[in-house]
Amino acid sequence: MNSAKKKTISFARKIKRKLEKKVIPKVPILSNYWAPAIEKIISIWGKRDLYNYPIFISYPRSGSHWINAMMEVYFNRPRIRHGDEIYIDKSRDDWMWVHDDDLDLKVMNNIIYKNKNNFGKTLFLYRNPIDVIYSYIRMQLSDDRKTKNRLTKKMLFSDENVKRHFLKWIAHHKEYTKNSKDKQFTFIKYENFLEKTKRAKEFEKIANHFSYPFNKDKIECIFEEFGKGKIARYRDTSEKKYKMEREEFTRKWQPYINNLLSENDIKI
């Protein structure tokens, strides 16, 4: 094993240990962490470069936690986000991108896109909306068990609530992909990172997005350390029960989401 590969593996394992210490992932409902991040960018790069500063957008529960970690290992550069979610040295300020869920489209509408003719450099992560919404509602159910105002499982998984979540996902997806043909927009798909035959090619899109040299051996090495099932994930129930209930959720809602995607002309 050459020294470069040993160094990559060592770095990846260090980041992986940090990931495994996180019991419950923090998923913000509002984008209230952007203001200080944007202020930092402006103070360093100036307003004129704000539109060209790379942003990574994903809907909550789309797998960005995992993708961000691999990006930090591959590029050896931090991102601007919550302080406790930056996996490499927190004292570093050589940020390479900013990540946000932007669930309420505050970044889209109020910061990056004030100048509608200047499209910000955007990396957008897609994941099957069925998996996203199921995971998101399970997270809400889990978080609510720790509060006094408990929402029942029946209420959270009610038809009305599930449809509301799907419609919000549709709105978020349409808003961010309406300029998908712009040369500064890169669309990546979570499911491709799970397949051995597709994962390196999908990560190559990220490297190209940042105009960074792509090294297939290096990213495959990182994938082996961060492979599916190798990072501790939070579950509020057993893995078997989780999969069984998700399959039931999929059977019920797949026809609805298929129609919704078709009605909104969303093709993946």
What number is the average pLDDT over the span 114-138?
80
What number is the average pLDDT over the span 225-236?
61
Which two three-digit tokens encode residue 236?
């509020």
Q: No. of H helices and E strands in the chain?
A: 11, 5
Q: Give, for 239, the enclosing helix (H) or strand (E).
A: helix 239-263
Eight-state DSSP code of residue 189: E
Does the pLDDT at position 71 exceed 60? yes
SS3 20: helix
Domain 3-263 adopts which CATH fold?
Rossmann fold (3.40.50)
Eight-state DSSP code of residue 90: T
Which two three-digit tokens encode residue 179?
């300029």
pLDDT-based confidence at residue 263 (cuts at 50, 70, 90): very high
Q: 240 φ, ψ to 5°?
A: -65, -45
How is the chain split into domains, by residue range? 3-263
Higher pLDDT, 236 or 26: 236
Higher pLDDT, 97 or 80: 97
Does the pLDDT at position 236 exceed 60? no
Q: What is the pLDDT of residue 55?
A: 82
Average pLDDT value for the chain: 77
Does the pLDDT at position 128 exceed 90? yes
- The Cα 44–Cα 188 span in angstroms is 28
Q: Which of 7-16, 19-28, 186-195 has the highest mean pLDDT?
A: 186-195
